[in-house]
């Protein structure tokens, strides 16, 4: 017996599948880094002064030297600029308003204008200590320089009131 040929499956051509392009993801923009502001004269870390300081002043111009009390009060501060009132105790003269500056390096300088004709302004310079006290030197000033022959000069030291 002869066998009949086995039918072979035939393939029916179909259309080739269409490849649709897959969507390309869009990049999400990242926020740009912002730089921190650099310190300027208005934002620098100036030491903040208390509103009142009490202490002592030693005048070496006189013989013998005079030691008495002093205070700085009603202090106002705007960044580096300071102002207030300087008062000196018995034995010395020169109380009055002052204007000056503080530095980031913890230095302080202020001037008390002359209180009467014939007297020179007083120039105070000092350093703010870690405990908040301030100490330094002072002199009678002529042409923005100390004049040790024309009036008071010596040392001073104050601490914030209440300490």
Higher pLDDT, 5 or 144: 144
Please give the Cα distance from 72 to 67 (Å, whole number): 16
pLDDT single digits (tens) 23-47: 544 444 444 444 444 444 455 799 9
State the pTM of this model: 0.72
Query: How far from 67 is each of 47, 62, 88, CA to CA, in Å?
Result: 28, 10, 10
The CATH architecture assigned to 53-160 reads Beta Barrel (2.40)
SS (H, E, C) 19-43: CCCCCCCCCCCCCCCCCCCCCCCCC
* Residue 152 in this model has a pLDDT that exceeds 70: yes
* pLDDT value of position 8: 54
Residue-level pLDDT at 33: 47
Over residues 79-116, the pLDDT tens digits come to 999 999 999 999 998 899 999 999 999 999 999 998 77
């Amino acid at each position: 017996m002869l066998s009949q040929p086995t039918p072979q499956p035939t393939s029916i051509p179909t259309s080739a599948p269409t490849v649709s392009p897959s969507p390309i993801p869009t990049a999400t923009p990242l926020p740009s880094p912002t730089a921190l502001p650099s310190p300027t004269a208005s934002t620098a870390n100036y030491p903040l002064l208390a509103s009142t300081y009490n202490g002592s002043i030693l005048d070496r111009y006189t013989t013998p030297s005079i030691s008495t009390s002093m205070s700085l009060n009603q202090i106002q501060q705007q960044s580096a600029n300071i102002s207030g009132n300087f008062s000196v105790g018995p034995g010395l003269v020169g109380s009055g308003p002052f204007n000056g500056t503080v530095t980031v390096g913890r230095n302080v300088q202020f001037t008390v204008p002359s209180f009467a004709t014939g007297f020179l302004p007083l120039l105070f310079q000092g350093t703010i200590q870690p405990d908040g006290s301030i100490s330094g030197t002072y002199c009678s000033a002529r042409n923005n320089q100390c004049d040790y022959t024309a009036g008071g000069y010596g040392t001073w030291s104050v601490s914030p009131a209440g300490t």
